[in-house]
C-alpha cells in the first residue's frame, strides 16, 4: 500500500536479471503527428496520415480541430483521415487541451483563421506554461488575442484571415512559438516574414521538422539566413503523409538495451530518424562512460532519459543549456534532481539551471525503497523506469501518465521481460 497519496495506483519494477531482447515498434512521433494534423486540417481536400500516434496529446489536437469544423476519422489506431476546407470555424465551446504544449501553441496561432472567438485552455500545469511571446507576435500581425496571465487561457477573435507583414518572435523559451507562426503564415493575405529576436531558440531541430512537414503540404518558404523566413501565401494542399516513430520514445528503449546489455530492435535505425532527440543515441551508447558535460538544448526531451542513465554512470555528468526544461509539463530539472535524490541522497542536484548527476555504479543491483513522484509528467515516469531496470523495488507513482505520448509503454516493457507489479 502507498500511504497518504492521491494517485490511484503505482507500479513497482524488478530488474529483468538478463539482457532485454525483443522487437518493439515505438509509437508514431507526437511532434510530427500534431504538425501533420494541423497542416492537413488547413489544407483543401482529404489527407491520409499513417503511422500516427494515438495518445492524449494527439487526441486533444484532433478533438479541437473537429470542434473547428475539420472532418477527422480514425479507421485504426495509427491512421487519421483528415478532410479540410482551408478554413476553420469558431467552436461552440472552450477548446480544452490538457497539458498538450504542441496543440496549445499551434492552435493559438491557427485560431486567427477562425471565423469568430476561440478560447484555448488547459489543465493546471498548462496554465503555468508561458505563451506570452507568441501572443505578442500575433498581436503585431493584427490578431486580436489576449492571455492576461501570460499563460493559457488564451482568447482569440479570429477574422478568418491574417494580414501580411513582418513579425518578430522571442523563441528563447520554446521553438513551438516559431513553428506555430510558420504554420500559420502560408494562410496569410500576402507574404509573411518571420524574424527571430536574437539567435536563441529552444530545440531548433523542431523548426526544421515543422518546415519539412510544411513543404510536404505545399508551403513555399524562403530562408536567407538562420534567423528569418519568408512565406508565400500559398495555403496548403492535401497530401498523404507517413509519420515516423517517435524518437523521444525510442530513447527509453535504446537506453533499456544499453543498460541491460541487450538488443531491442525498433525496426528503424537511429540514423533514419529526422527528429532532434535521435541525436541522443550516441550519448546513450556511450554509457557507462558518458561525457562530463552534456549540452541539452537541442535534445530537450531526451535529457530525462540521459539523466537517469547518468545515475549509474562511472563519472559525474553535468547537463547544461536546459533552462527550458523548467517550463515543460513540469519543472523537469527540479523533478529529476528531487527524484534521483530519493534513490540516494546527493545523487543529483540543481546548480542554477544546470543539473549535476554524480553517478554511482555501485547502485546497480541494489534494492531501493524509493517511491518516485511523476508530477503528472510522462517523461519523468518513463525515464525512471530505467532506474527500475537497475535496482530492485523502485516504485513509480501515477504510472498511467505515460498515456500522454506512449500509452503502451508499460506493456512494451513487460513484453521484453521486465517484471511489473501494480500496487494500490
- Least Cα distance to 274 among 61, 32, 2 occurs for 32
- Least Cα distance to 280 among 263, 258, 262, 296 occurs for 296
Rounded to 5 degrees, what are φ and ψ at 420?
Answer: -125, 130
Which is catalytic among the residues 56, 277, 301, 360? 301
Rounded to 5 degrees, what are φ and ψ at 274?
Answer: -100, -5
Q: Let me know: does 128 contact 334? Beta carbons within 8 Å.
A: no
**Binding site for 3-phosphoshikimate, residues?**
30-31, 35, 174-176, 301, 324, 328
**Binding site, residues?**
30-31, 35, 101, 129, 174-176, 301, 324, 328, 332, 379, 404
List residues bridging with 85 in a β-sheet: 44
Catalytic annotation on 331? no
- Residue 91 C-alpha cell reads as 467552436
CA 331 to chain centre: 14
**Binding site for phosphoenolpyruvate, residues?**
30, 101, 129, 176, 332, 379, 404
Rounded to whole angstroms, the Cα distance separating 214 from 408 reads 29
Residue numbers annotated as active site: 301
Amino acid at each position: 500500500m502507498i500511504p497518504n497519496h492521491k494517485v490511484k495506483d503505482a507500479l513497482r519494477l524488478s530488474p529483468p536479471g538478463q539482457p532485454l531482447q525483443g522487437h518493439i515498434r515505438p509509437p508514431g512521433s507526437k511532434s510530427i503527428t500534431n504538425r501533420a494534423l494541423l497542416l492537413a486540417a488547413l489544407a483543401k481536400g482529404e489527407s491520409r496520415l499513417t503511422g500516427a500516434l494515438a495518445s492524449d496529446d494527439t487526441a486533444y489536437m484532433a478533438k479541437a480541430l473537429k470542434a473547428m469544423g475539420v472532418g477527422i476519422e480514425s479507421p485504426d489506431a495509427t491512421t487519421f483521415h483528415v478532410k479540410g476546407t482551408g478554413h476553420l470555424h469558431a467552436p461552440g465551446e472552450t477548446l480544452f487541451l490538457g497539458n498538450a504544449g504542441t496543440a496549445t501553441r499551434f492552435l493559438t496561432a491557427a485560431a486567427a483563421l477562425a471565423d469568430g472567438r476561440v478560447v484555448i485552455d488547459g489543465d493546471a500545469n498548462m496554465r503555468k506554461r508561458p505563451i506570452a511571446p507568441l501572443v505578442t507576435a500575433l498581436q503585431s500581425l493584427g490578431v486580436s488575442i489576449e492571455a492576461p496571465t501570460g499563460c493559457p487561457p488564451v482568447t482569440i477573435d479570429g477574422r478568418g484571415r491574417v494580414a501580411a507583414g513582418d513579425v518578430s518572435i522571442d523563441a528563447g523559451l520554446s521553438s513551438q512559438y516559431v513553428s506555430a507562426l510558420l504554420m500559420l503564415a502560408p494562410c496569410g493575405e500576402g507574404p509573411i516574414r518571420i524574424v527571430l529576436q536574437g539567435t536563441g531558440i529552444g530545440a531548433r531541430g523542431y523548426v526544421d521538422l515543422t518546415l519539412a512537414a510544411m513543404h510536404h503540404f505545399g508551403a513555399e518558404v524562403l530562408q536567407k539566413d538562420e534567423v528569418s523566413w519568408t512565406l508565400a501565401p500559398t495555403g496548403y494542399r492535401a497530401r498523404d503523409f507517413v509519420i515516423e516513430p517517435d524518437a523521444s520514445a525510442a530513447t527509453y528503449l535504446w537506453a533499456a538495451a544499453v543498460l541491460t546489455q541487450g538488443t531491442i530492435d525498433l525496426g528503424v535505425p537511429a540514423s533514419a530518424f529526422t527528429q532532434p532527440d535521435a541525436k541522443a543515441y550516441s550519448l546513450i551508447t556511450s554509457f557507462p562512460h558518458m561525457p562530463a558535460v552534456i549540452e541539452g538544448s537541442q535534445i530537450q526531451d531526451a535529457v530525462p532519459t540521459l539523466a537517469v542513465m547518468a545515475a549509474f554512470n562511472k563519472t559525474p555528468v553535468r547537463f547544461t543549456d536546459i533552462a527550458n526544461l523548467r517550463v515543460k509539463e513540469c519543472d523537469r530539472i527540479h523533478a529529476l534532481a528531487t527524484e534521483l535524490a530519493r534513490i540516494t541522497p546527493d545523487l543529483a542536484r540543481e546548480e542554477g539551471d544546470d543539473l549535476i548527476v554524480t553517478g554511482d555504479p555501485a547502485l546497480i543491483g541494489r534494492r531501493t525503497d524509493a517511491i518516485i513522484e511523476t508530477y503528472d509528467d510522462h517523461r519523468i515516469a518513463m525515464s525512471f523506469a530505467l532506474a527500475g531496470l537497475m535496482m530492485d523495488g523502485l516504485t513509480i507513482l501515477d504510472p498511467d501518465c505515460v498515456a500522454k505520448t506512449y500509452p503502451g509503454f508499460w506493456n512494451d516493457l513487460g513484453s521484453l521481460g521486465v517484471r511489473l507489479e501494480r500496487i494500490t
